[in-house]
Structure 1
Amino acid sequence: MTTIDTSPTQAPPEKAPYRWRWAALFVILAAEVMDLLDAMVTNIASPTIRAELGGSAAVIQWLGAAYTLSMAVGLVTGGRLGDIFGRKRMFLIGAIGFTVGSLLCAVSQGPELLIAARVIQGLFGAVMLPQGLGMIKEMFPPKEMQAAFGMFGPIMGLSSVGGPILAGWLIDADFFGTGWRMIFLINLPLGILAVLAGLRFLPESRSPHPLKLDFTGMFLISLAGLLIVFPLVQGREYDWPLWSFLMMGASVVVFAVFGWFEARKNRNGGDPLVVPSLFRKRAFTGGLVTGLVFFSGMVGFSLVFSLYTQIGLGYSTLKAGLASVPWSLGMIVGFGIAQPLQKYGRKLLHGGALLMALGVFGVIVTLNVAGIGVTPWQFVPALLLTGIGMGMLMAPFFNIVLAGVEQHETGSASGSLTAIQQLGSAFGVALLGTVFFGLLGSSVATASDDVTPKLRSDLAAVQVTGAAQDRIVTGIRACGHDRAVAKDPAEVPASCVRLEADSRASATSPQAGAAVQKAVMTAGATAGKEGFSQAMKTILWVVDGMLLLTFLVAFLLPKHAREGEEGAH
Structure 2
Amino acid sequence: MTDTPTSTETTTAPTTTPTASPRAAWLTLIVVLLADAMDLMDATITNVAAPSIVQDLGVGDDVIPWLGAAYALALGSLLVLGGRLGDRFGQRRTFLVGLIGFMAGSALAGLAPTAGALIAARVVQGTFGALLIPQGMAIMAATFSKPMLRTAFAVFAPMLGVFAVAGPIVGGLLIDADLFGLAWRPIFLMNVVLGGIALVLALRHLPAVPPHRSVRIDARGSALLGTALFGLLFGLLTGASQGWGPVTIASTLLGGALLAAFAIRQVRTPDPLLPRQLLANRGFTSGLVVGLCVFAGFSGLMYVISLFFQLGLGYTPTQASLNLIPLTIGIIAGSGIANALILSLGRRVVLLGMLTTLLGTGVLLLIVLTAGLEATWWQNLIATSIIGTAAGISFNSVFNTALGNVQPEEAGSASGSLSAIQQVANGIGSALVTTIFLGNLAAGTIPAMTITLVIILVMAATCLLALPLLPRTAVMLED
The answer to whether the superposition gives a TM-score over 0.5 is yes
Distance (Å, rounded) in 2 between the aligned partners of 1:237 and 1:541: 18
Q: Which residue of 2 aligns with 1:532?
A: 445
The secondary structure found in structure 2 opposite 1:151 is helix
The CA deviation at 1:391 is 1.1
What whole-Å deviation, never above 9, does each CA across 1:76-127 have from its counterpart, x for those lacking one? 1111111111111111111111011111011111000000000000000110
Residue 465 of structure 2 is matched in structure 1 by 552
CA distance in 2, matches of 1:422, 1:15: 30
- The corresponding residue for 2:358 is 357
TM-fit CA distance, 1:146: 1.9
CA distance in 1, matches of 2:431, 2:38: 23
1:38 aligns with 2:39: no
1:283 aligns with 2:196: no
2:367 aligned partner, one-letter code: T
Provide the C-alpha distance between the structure 2 equivalents of 1:405 and 1:248, rounded to a whole number of angstroms: 33
Secondary structure of 1:560's aligned partner: coil
Counterpart amino acid of 2:466? Answer: V
Within 2, Cα distance between the matches of 1:420 and 1:359?
24
Which residue identity is paired with 1:35?
D
Corresponding residue for 1:388? 389
Contact kept, 8 Å, 1:292 with 1:420, in 2: the verdict is yes
Deviation at 1:554, TM superposition (A): 2.1
CA-CA distance at 1:180 after TM superposition = 0.1
Tell whether the 8 Å contact from 2:240 to 2:436 is kept in structure 1 after alignment. Answer: no
| Aligned match for 2:190, one of 186, 193, 218 | 186
Distance 1:558 1:37, change over 3 A: same
* Mapping of residues 494-509 of structure 1, within 5 Å: none
Instruction: Give, in angstroms, the shift of residue 562 of structure 1.
Output: 4.9
Q: In the alignment, what sits opposite 1:419?
A: 420
Residues 238 and 366 (structure 1), Cα distance of their counterparts in 2 relative to 1, 3 Å cut? closer
Contact kept, 8 Å, 1:164 with 1:322, in 2: the verdict is no
Q: Tell me: CA distance 1:421–1:91, structure 2 relative to 1, closer, same or farther (3 Å).
A: same
SS of corresponding position for 1:213: coil
- Secondary structure of the 1:64 match is helix
Matched, 1:440 2:441: yes
User: CA 1:82–1:15 in 2, change beyond 3 Å: closer, same or farther?
Assistant: closer
Superposed counterparts of 1:512-527, under 5 Å: none
Q: What secondary structure is seen at the aligned counterpart in 1 of 2:440?
A: helix
The answer to whether the 8 A contact 1:170-1:182 is kept is yes
Amino acid at match of 1:560: T
**Structure 1 residue 17, shift from structure 2 partner:** 3.8
Q: Provide the rounded CA distance (Å) in 1 between the counterparts of 2:19 and 2:291.
A: 39
Cα distance in structure 2, aligned partners of 1:560 and 1:392: 16
**Alignment TM-score, normalising by the size of structure 1:** 0.78
Coordinate RMSD, CA, aligned: 1.7
Structure (1 or 2) with the larger CA radius of gyration = 1
CA distance in 2 between partners of 1:216 and 1:161 (Å): 35
Between the aligned partners of 1:555 and 1:209, the Cα distance in structure 2 is 41
CA distance in 2, matches of 1:122, 1:210: 27
- One-letter code aligned to 2:330: G
**Residue in 2 aligned with 1:406?**
407
Give the 3-state SS of the residue equivalent to 2:35 in structure 1. helix
Residue 117 of structure 2 corresponds to residue 116 of structure 1 = no
Alignment of 1:56-95 (within 5 A): 56-95=60-99
For residue 206 of structure 1, report the CA deviation from its aligned partner: 3.6
Percent of paired sites with the same residue: 40
Hey, what does 1:200 align to over in structure 2?
Answer: 204
Tell me how many residue pairs correspond in the alignment: 458
CA contact (8 A) 1:102 1:117 kept: yes
Alignment of 1:155-554 (within 5 A): 155-208=159-212, 210-266=214-270, 271-342=271-342, 343-441=344-442, 443=443, 531-554=444-467
| Equivalent AA in structure 2 for residue 369 of structure 1 | T
- Structure 2, unpaired ranges of 5+: 1-16
Higher RCO structure, 1 or 2 (CA under 8 Å, sep 6+): 2
Instruction: Tell me by how many angstroms 1:547 deviates.
Output: 1.1
The offset of 1:248, in angstroms, is: 1.9
The one-letter code matched in structure 2 to 1:106 is: G
* Cα distance in structure 2, aligned partners of 1:74 and 1:422: 10
Using the alignment, how far apart are the partners of 1:15 and 1:414 within structure 2? 22
Q: Is the 8 A contact 2:25 2:148 kept in 1?
A: no
- 1:512-545 residue CA offsets vs partner (Å, 9 max, x unmatched): xxxxxxxxxxxxxxxxxxx102211211111111
Residue type matched to 1:355 in 2? Answer: T
- How far apart are 1:28 and its partner, in Å? 0.3
Q: Which residue of 2 aligns with 1:499?
A: none
